[in-house]
Amino acid sequence: MTAASDFSGDTAASLSRRISSGETSSVNAVQKALERIARLEPRIKAFIKVENDDALEEARRADERIAKGERLPLLGVPVAVKDNMLMENRVATCASKILENFRAPYSATAVKKLRAAGAVILGKTNMDEFAMGSSTENSAFGPTRNPWNVETVPGGSSGGSAAAVAAGYCPISLGSDTGGSIRQPAAFCGVVGLKPTYGRVSRFGLVAFASSLDQIGPFGKTVEDVALAMNAIGGYDKMDSTSVDRPMPDLSEALKKDVKNFVVGLPREYFVEGVAPEVRKAVQGAADALAREGARIEEISLPHTEYAIAVYYVIATAEASSNLARYDGVKYGHRSGGGEGLEGMYSFSRTEGFGPEVRRRIMLGTYVLSSGYYDAYYLKAQKVRTLILNDFREAFKKCRVILTPTTPTPPFKFGEKTADPLQMYLSDIFTISTNLAGIPGICVPGGLSSEGLPIGVQMMAGHFDEESLITAAAAYERTRSFPSPKI
């Protein structure tokens, strides 16, 4: 089956044009997507649940809207959603046995906005359990595999969403990013991934991991696709107390601008020992390309970068310990038949329901919040978080965009880092600071390794300046072509 016949080579923008012009229908595009999923999923396993009947019904409704003359950028376009976002009366497992049979009582705001924009949701994608991981190896339902090489990981925790776009199932998907969980899988799967400013996209209906860090964002085949998705899901939501009430710009306009007045900062702390030479080369190539487009490249410093991993794994685990306390086997989720009394039921339910990585982080978080350790760990981490935020504020006085590696290495093989959690945590060393500071970041494909695996480059901008990110990323994207995996 070729890309021409199954639309797997289409971007969201090109597929939308084909559907709205009558060249094809949403039902046809979705049917072809479902056929491709059925053919490739035994190898890739990007989905936890494919909603075949619902997707075709949504596609029929989209075609009816088009027949009435309605035109929207995502109308009739198939998309996928990470399985930590609620869809009313549909399973929302967070890739955990503790929520294996949980059906959501309502839909997340981001899901509602996608549907209002006319997008057709194919199903719920696989992930690291409760978004805790960097490889999608922690899913209770088995790992997702990288479409570029099924022996390598797709990144995490949004590995299923990234793999779904890379595999050509859909041109857009939604993920969540707590410490790099959109940008790192985007890098590993050779797609574009955007983590918006904290508060730009509603978190209502997103199952919480670390509430001060979590943010929903899109994956896309191109920067334009990501801009279209952000236009649909961004904006204020009164149902989310952390949503910021400020206008959502049309990011499609940012695609048309150039970078001639941009200063692009290269932070010296991001080019340290341990960064693969091929990754360095890709970032330098991106800097050179932006310079040719008229940007000025300058070295900058983010001096507290070295503390980011430690700060993140104190704050994130503390918030996880608090957020995951609700899964006790009483009101919803898995309830064990073992154990004596209430405490025994709690213990057995949580031990059976949570995987080892989730249990590890709950224990770490409970420890740093415990009496006698709160000031030494959690309070100190919050103070250093402020120093990291101030580093970025100072940096953005000198530059418009910051350019860095997304990951220290190209995609690694399954099992390579599972025995050493610290090595796994270091996979996110270049993405974590963005979440701690609450600023937006984007990953764009930057080339292929000597083994033919994707390498991503990361750009960051100031709070609520997604426009600069889209402009810079699109300017870089125009200078090069990037292949798709041969699957």
* Residues with catalytic roles: 82, 157, 181
CA 382/CA 343 separation, integer angstroms: 32
Contact 474, 464 (CB under 8 A): no
Ramachandran area for residue 161 (φ above 0: left; ψ -120 to 50: alpha; else beta): alpha
Contact 35, 14 (CB under 8 A): no
- Which residues, other chains included, contact 196 with Cβ-Cβ below 8 Å and sequence gap of 6+? 215, 216, 217, 230, 234, 440, 466
Q: Which two tokens stand for residue 311?
A: 């700060």
Q: Which two tokens stand for residue 467?
A: 């426009």
CA distances from 219 to 213, 315, 472 (A): 18, 26, 17
Q: Which two tokens stand for residue 452?
A: 């033919």
- Establish whether the linkage from the previous residue to 243 is cis, with ω within 30° of 0: no
CA 49/CA 117 separation, integer angstroms: 22
Q: Using the structure block, give the residue that is written with the tokens 């693969």.
A: 276
CA distances from 362 to 166, 331, 358 (A): 32, 20, 6
3 state SS of 176: strand
Report how far Cα 279 is from the mean position of its chain's Cα atoms: 20
- Which residues, other chains included, contact 479 with Cβ-Cβ below 8 Å and sequence gap of 6+? 289, 292, 293
Q: Helix 466-477 vs helix 223-233: angle between axes, to the nearest 10 degrees?
A: 160
Contact 154, 162 (CB under 8 A): yes
Q: What are phi and psi of 206, to 5 degrees?
A: -95, 125
Ramachandran area for residue 423 (φ above 0: left; ψ -120 to 50: alpha; else beta): alpha
- Which residues, other chains included, contact 392 with Cβ-Cβ below 8 Å and sequence gap of 6+? 302, 402, 433, 437, 439, 460, 462
Q: Helix 12-21 vs helix 26-44: angle between axes, to the nearest 10 degrees?
A: 150
